[in-house]
Homo-oligomer: A and B are copies of this chain.
Amino acid sequence: MPNKKLSQIGEFGLINLIAKLAGKSKNLIKGIGDDAAVLPYTKDKYLLLTTDMLLEGVHFVQKDGAQAIGHKALACNISDIAAMGGVPIWVVISLGVPANLKINFIWDLYKGVSRLAKKFNVTIVGGDTNASSKIIISIAHLGEVAKKDLVLRSGAKKNDMIFVTGPLGGSLKNKKHLQFIPRLAESQYLVKHFKPTAMIDISDGLASDLKHILDQSKAGAFVYEKFIPKAKGVNLKQALSDGEDFELLFTLSPKEANRFLGTKKDFPFFYIGRIVDKKEGFVLINQDGRAEDISLKGFRHF
């Protein structure tokens, strides 16, 4: 193990290291490397387990408002469950709070969590609270997915069509990251009526998260600049690289995509490109038809 710093190997280098230490279980369906772990449950269902930690000064500031912070903390988790084709059910919340923080703030933070929880039939079943210099919220979420609905990152195949559920970029600037409604209804619509081959939620940015699908699916992609839906006031680079959009990114086989495109839908969906052979690379096709490598435009945590 070289004596490097985290900032040198990055989050994904770290995740690869951790995966080596994770241990093996013959019962495990899918461990590290997807939006949620997939665990054995009943004859027809799997359990989904995921966790997200939000830190003051990194993912929010106090003046974002306590309710918005609580909302975001839970919404990130629900988004992960949605990205697997599942439904959220139970959460436990670990909280770090400064001892001099007003109780009103904590109350409002939980109110933000609990309002969204009610909306999605999620129940808060436990937690842990500690004194901390800054506010920390770590939520672990247990959900379930019908076996036939499970979508991993690893199933994208050559010629599959790539879609996203909404405009991208600028989420931090326009405060979308504090207010977004996780795309659970969209995900349920998709898995109940179609058969997505791969899915992920866009938390690190389109380029970075599509790269996760390509890595796990051992594939490449052509993405068309003209088709990428951009949030208001956002340029191409931001639409590709900004994090925290929490839209779903998914792939459908050409046959399913045809059926999908021909169906009247209650939600907006945007076609952005297609899966190609790994050796063809991860390529952006510009408005004028030029190709450029986009594999390194994503968000980095370190």
Contacts and interface: CB of A to CB of B under 8 A. Distances in A.
Given A1-B103, A55-B132, A125 B31 contact: yes
A267 interface: no
A5 B99 CA distance: 7
Interface string A150-192: 0000000000000000000000000000000000000000000
A66 B198 CA distance: 37
A142 interface: yes
A17 B140 CA distance: 20
A71 to B, nearest CB: 13
A242 to B, nearest CB: 17
A284 interface: no
Interface string A63-93: 0000000000000000000000000001011
Interface in A237-281: none
A144 to B, nearest CB: 11
Interface in A89-142: 90, 92-104, 106-107, 110-111, 113-114, 117-118, 122-134, 136, 138, 140, 142
A234 interface: no
A42 interface: yes
Given A37-B125, A133-B134, A142-B142, A2 B51 contact: no
Interface of A: 1-9, 11, 14-15, 17-18, 21-25, 28, 31-32, 34, 36-37, 39, 41-42, 47, 49-53, 55, 57-59, 90, 92-104, 106-107, 110-111, 113-114, 117-118, 122-134, 136, 138, 140, 142, 301-302
